[in-house]
């Protein structure tokens, strides 16, 4: 019997949005209605015809409401499978600069019709390096953006 081919990986992006003043801080969020999901960075799928730089700006705006972020560069491509489903995925991590103004913490309700529609996210900037790892090892590539930002341990 022939082997069943593995499904193609889901193509995704993840955002390291950094506010640099008064000190380097990373944009993270928690699901207000599902705290067990853990602290994470904006991330999601790349749509048809999108390049990672477009997708990451869309995901940041959708999940946090933050406007005015600027893509600096790609950091890494991570091929780890989804931790719960085991489904293959290919995630491009990108470094973004956040606008210097705006709040340090806020709540955002996702609009639209996607899977996240209606979810409430508690967003905030956390000083770097982080005190503990993020959900799904999303902080794994911070040290590639700046060695001083690597999560200890």
pLDDT of residue 148: 97
The answer to whether residue 10 scores a pLDDT higher than 90 is: yes
Instruction: Give per-residue pLDDT as tens, 47-60.
Output: 999 999 999 999 99
5 in a domain, yes or no?
A: no
1 in a domain, yes or no?
A: no
Tally of structural domains, the chain: 1
Q: State the residue range of the domain holding 135.
A: 10-149
The answer to whether residue 152 scores a pLDDT higher than 80 is: yes
Instruction: Give per-residue pLDDT as tens, 50-91.
Output: 999 999 999 999 999 999 999 999 999 999 988 888 899 999
pTM exceeds 0.85: yes
21 in a domain, yes or no?
A: yes
Across residues 131-151, what is the average pLDDT? Answer: 96
3 in a domain, yes or no?
A: no
Q: Two tokens at 22?
A: 């008064």
User: What's the CA gap between 139 and 117, in Å, rounded?
Assistant: 25
CA geometry: angle 79, 81, 83, nearest 5 deg: 135
Q: What is the CATH number of the domain that holds 145?
A: 3.90.79.10
């Amino acid at each position: 019997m022939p082997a069943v081919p593995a499904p193609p990986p889901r193509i995704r992006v993840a955002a390291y949005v950094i506010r640099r003043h008064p000190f380097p801080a990373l944009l993270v969020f928690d699901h207000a209605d599902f705290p067990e999901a853990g602290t994470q960075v904006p991330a999601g799928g790349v749509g048809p015809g999108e390049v990672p730089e477009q997708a990451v700006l869309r995901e940041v705006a959708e999940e946090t409401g933050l406007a005015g972020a600027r893509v600096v560069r790609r950091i890494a491509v991570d091929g780890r499978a989804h931790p719960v489903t085991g489904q293959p995925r290919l995630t491009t991590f990108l470094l973004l600069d956040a606008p210097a103004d705006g709040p340090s913490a806020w709540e955002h309700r996702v609009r639209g019709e996607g899977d996240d529609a209606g979810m409430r996210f508690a967003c905030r900037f956390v000083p770097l390096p982080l005190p503990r790892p993020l959900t799904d090892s999303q902080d794994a590539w911070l040290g590639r953006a700046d060695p001083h930002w690597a999560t200890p341990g």
